[in-house]
Amino acid sequence: MEPMTLIIPKVLAPIGDVPILEIVLHQLRCAGFTEATLALGHLGELVEAYVTIHARRFEGLRVTTVFEDEPTGTAGALDLVPGLDQTFLVMNGDILTNLDFRALVADHRGSGALLTVASTRQRLRLEAGVLHFDDRTGSLRRYEEKPEIAFTVSMGIYVYEPQVLRWLPAGRPVDQPEVVQRLLSSGERVNCYATDCWWYDIGTRDGYRRAREHFASEPGLFLPSDGR
């Protein structure tokens, strides 16, 4: 995403004329959330200034911030967040989706799992012909020209029970996949919430371009009405 991210953090990158962060906070407020904590690092002071200046746009959603002195990973920053004593949502800040957050949390609570991972289907097109042949004889059996493969992928959105915090290793950075693996290795239940919703990871120029194009054509899909 450079050079843009040299001067603004990804979460403030505009989608149309609205920063990604504002879309996410609006969605959470519409889904019934009343509090959000932003774990900030790179250019975090700009994010803090934005939510402070535009606090009225998030009326009904209390937005607070915590700062990392050093990068702690996508899960490690939870150590900095106070008051995580009941079910809570964790998500990356640079995601554009029309996920139903209410349904996600309801599914998690009904599953009895300690952690739920939101997922969606993604298709990957291989830019080469794929050969299927007999390993023993070398005889070609089938030729597929640039096939598409479907995968179920993590959306970078999770619902936690507070007990999961015990699986965060102390004193070093930790990412969400490691937390999931630690739970699975301990025999704990991890739930997968499967959806067919739209999902864009604004981590590459191509993802950012596609997200902007989709938002321009269907802004109401990502900015639900809150009745105000």
Q: What is the pLDDT, as a whole number, of residue 113?
A: 97
**Domain edges within the chain:** 11-222
Q: Of 202, 193, 228, 177, nearest to 9 (Cα)? A: 202
pLDDT exceeds cutoff 60 at 227:
no
Q: Which amino acid is residue 112, in one-letter code? A: G
pLDDT exceeds cutoff 90 at 207:
no
- pLDDT band at residue 191 under the 50/70/90 scheme: very high
Q: Of 112, 170, 176, 123, nearest to 146 (Cα)? A: 123
The model's pLDDT over 119-135, given as tens digits with 9 standing for 90+, comes to 998 887 888 898 898 88
Alpha-carbon distance of 80 to 102, in angstroms, equals: 25
In this prediction the pTM is 0.88
Between the CA atoms of 98, 20, 180 and 71, what dihedral angle is there, to the nearest 10 degrees?
180
Question: Residue 169 corresponds to which tokens in the numbers above?
Answer: 């290793």
Alpha-carbon distance of 130 to 146, in angstroms, equals: 7
The model's pLDDT over 88-144, given as tens digits with 9 standing for 90+, comes to 999 999 899 999 999 999 999 999 999 999 999 888 788 889 889 888 898 998 998
pLDDT exceeds cutoff 90 at 149:
no
Please say whether the structural domain 11-222 has been given the CATH code 3.40.109.10: no
| pLDDT cut 90: percent of the chain above it | 64
The model's pLDDT over 22-72, given as tens digits with 9 standing for 90+, comes to 999 999 999 999 999 999 988 889 999 999 999 888 889 999 999 988 889
CA angle (127 as vertex; 121, 131 as ends), nearest 5: 100
Q: 129 with 144: CB under 8 angstroms?
A: yes
